[in-house]
Chains A and B, each alone.
Chain A
């Protein structure tokens, strides 16, 4: 039997199906060394950066926190109120602690998917393990931060999230870097296990730099009556980003939803898709994506719904707003039904800001630029995502901060 390592070695030169092919050897494997410390005692510059991706320095407003800088885990703790509800630790620590964890490792995402998954196996730099215990409802969000402090660094994390039966939680993951970092490669493997009757809301916010590359690889497995909601946001320019997370609705009545908001600026090359596979009776899926392209950004907004079982239903809605003649939005919605009774639908629309809308707002007294900004912000309205109100407000606030600067 071949090991993960063997599989990885065979895939180390395998380009990804989408996105620019990167030479993974051009990045450094020499991180800065960071000693464990509370998040709030990190340098001010870092604290400012993490706020933009939803990570809070204080422990009070998060049920649990995980913080990694470069290749070092500097903090991980569960707030005392939630100690019997959830556990959080580095992935390496978890693998040592739990023998059974190997049954969750590279089980949804294949190690030989491409050179990036291979890299995450062969040059693995931590990541986190989060488990929400059976029947526990964690009312406060958990947070994880993957931070890069060294220019041109390659960081490869592997995260495992397990929502045990009947549990419920929201996780916010922020990935960002120090202002001195211009280049680098982040590879993030995340495997989600949403068990019977569990509900997991996962929100990931990326803020990278102009010459930075990012290759997340995620997969979710949802069992009977489980609900998985994934929110992804990327507002800052970067060199290239390519990801195509998949959710497998394996159990009866399993539900998956992907919400994505991309704001492409500069010369960013962004190829982001979401895929839902409906594998059992009563499964439901929804993909909603919003892409805004300005300057010379190129955005590929993909979506794939695959119906493999009768009495399943899924919808894909992809809207793109193009704000510059040098930008490109390429919307690729795909549906594949393999059986009768798989009801799949999509709507896709790409266009510029409607003049009629601008004029309407100007007739209310807004200037042209105010009207356009209002329309663009409205386009990124997260209230359609069906998130808990508290989380919705928090995300909207982050969007407002980012777009205020961009517009």
Chain B
């Protein structure tokens, strides 16, 4: 049997009393890269917040098993220390807290930070910037990847690493992400699948209305979504059985 790094079992989540995830089941075997598709508002980012244990995301039922350990009730920082590294889609501005301060916490070796900066083509002076304050779309993505690399977890979660990024930066990010995924497991949320030009994913899942309705080959599912939109998923006869082998 394949060993899973992450196993989400029957997970239902509420935010302010409103159900946003419904009976989600997801298994990511060790060493695999999975992609999560879904229309806006389907609950993709919420799944990440619940995975991290953000208090506003109340787990009504189900369990999250990471590396064989039930982490459902652990605080965020303890989950993260077990090896979960997340690049956020819309990270908050924190005035006065420098990017460099966070990086040096994650990676005390200054030389290694220097190497990472070169990788993402950030000047040294970027370390003195208040985190996310006045960052462009591309800079946010790069700063998030930089932090994920510094965290050096063995399970990487990327929430829309390809949205709002220009072609040049996409190429840089795509290459870095592909490198980073080597020997690691990952879950990548993508809306349009652009990032898939740069990485090899093993499996894709489609999240709709808080439920995973389809799992299968990333290329085939993306092709269908790009051709017919998410309406195709709704029409898919096998959605009802929660499984569509393509």
- The answer to whether A375 and B97 have CB atoms under 8 Å apart is yes
Q: Which residue of the partner chain, among A355, A364, A380, contacts B80 with CB atoms under 8 Å?
A: A364
Q: How far is the CA of A364 from the CA of B92 in the complex (A)?
A: 13
- Taking a contact as CB atoms under 8 Å apart, the answer to whether B76 and A359 are in contact is yes
The 4 closest A-B pairs by CB, nearest first: A378-B96, A381-B96, A378-B97, A362-B76
Known: A364-B102, A364-B105, A365-B106. A357 touches B94 (CB 8 A): yes
Q: Which residues of the partner chain A approach B147 to less than 8 Å between Cβ atoms?
A: 364
Q: Does A77 contact B (CB under 8 A)?
A: no
Residues in A341-374 with C-beta less than 8 Å from chain B: 354-357, 359-368, 374
CB of A133 within 8 Å of the partner chain: no
Report which of B54, B56, B95, B128 forms a contact with A378, defined as CB distance below 8 A. Answer: B95
Whether A377 pairs with B92 at a CB distance below 8 angstroms is no
Q: Are B95 and A363 in contact (CB under 8 A)?
A: no
Q: Which B residues are in CB contact (< 8 Å) with A362?
A: 75-77, 80
In angstroms, Cα B102 to Cα A33, docked, is 51
Task: List, in ascending order, chain A residues with CB within 8 A of B106's CB.
Answer: 364-365
Bitwise interface map of B from 201 to 229 toward A, beta carbon under 8 Å scored 1, else 0: 00000000000000000000000000000
Distance, CA A85 to CA B126, complexed state (A): 38
Task: Please report the C-alpha to C-alpha distance between residue A363 and residue B128 in the assembled complex, in whole angstroms.
Answer: 21
Which of chain A's residues have a CB closer than 8 A to the CB of B52?
Answer: 359, 363
Mark out the residues of chain B between 71 and 116 whose CB falls within 8 Å of any chain A CB in the assembled complex.
75-77, 80-81, 86, 88, 91-92, 94-98, 101-102, 105-106
Interface residues of B (CB under 8 A from A): 52, 54-56, 75-77, 80-81, 86, 88, 91-92, 94-98, 101-102, 105-106, 128, 130, 147, 151
Complex CA distance for A355 and B57, rounded to whole angstroms: 13
Per-position 1/0 for A185-202, Cβ under 8 A of B: 000000000000000000
Residues of B within 8 A of A381 (CB): 95-97, 130
Among B88, B92, B96, find the residue whose CB has the most chain A CB atoms closer than 10 A: B96
Contact of B77 among A365, A380, A383 (CB under 8 A): A365
Complex CA gap A357/B92 in Å reads 6
Within the complex, the shortest CB–CB distance from B156 to chain A, in Å, comes to 13
**A377 CA / B96 CA spacing, docked (Å):** 7
Query: Complex formed: what's the CA distance from A359 to B102 in Å?
Result: 14
Q: How far is the CA of A184 from the CA of B175 in the complex (A)?
A: 65
Q: Are A360 and B91 in contact (CB under 8 A)?
A: yes
A360, A363, A384, most chain B CB atoms within 10 A: A363
The reply to whether A378 and B130 form a contact with Cβ atoms under 8 Å apart is yes
In Å, the complex CA distance between A378 and B102 comes to 12
Min C-beta distance of A39 to chain B, whole Å: 33
A365-B81 contact given A374-B97, A375-B94, A378-B94, CB 8 Å threshold: yes
**A8-49 vs B, Cβ < 8 Å mask (1 yes, 0 no):** 000000000000000000000000000000000000000000
Interface residue A105 (Cβ < 8 Å from any Cβ of B): no
- Asked whether any CB of chain B lies closer than 8 Å to the CB of A379, the reply is yes
A379 x B80 contact (CB < 8 A): no
Contact indicator A360/B81 (Cβ below 8 Å): no
9 A-B contact pairs sorted by A residue (CB < 8 Å): A359-B54, A363-B86, A364-B102, A366-B77, A366-B105, A367-B75, A379-B96, A380-B96, A381-B97
Whether the pair B75, A368 counts as a contact (CB closer than 8 A) is yes
Residues of A within 8 Å of B76, CB to CB, are 359, 362-363
Given contacts A374-B101, A378-B130, are A367 and B96 in contact (CB under 8 A)?
Answer: no
**Residues of chain A within 8 A of B97, CB atoms compared:** 361, 374-375, 377-378, 381
Please judge, given known A-B contacts A374-B101, A375-B97, whether A360 and B80 are in contact too, CB under 8 Å: no
Q: Given the complex of chains A and B, what is the CA–CA distance between A380 and B95 in angstroms? A: 9
Which of chain B's residues has its CB closest to A377's CB? B96
Among A219-269, those with CB < 8 Å from B are none
* A46 vs chain B, min Cβ distance (A): 32
Give every chain A residue within 8 A of B56 (Cβ-Cβ): 355
Of A365, A374, A379, which is within 8 A of B151 by CB? Answer: A365
* Chain A residue at minimum C-beta to C-beta distance from B91: A360
> In the assembly, what is the distance between CA of A374 and CA of B131, in Å?
12
- Name the distance in Å between A365's Cβ and chain B's nearest Cβ: 5
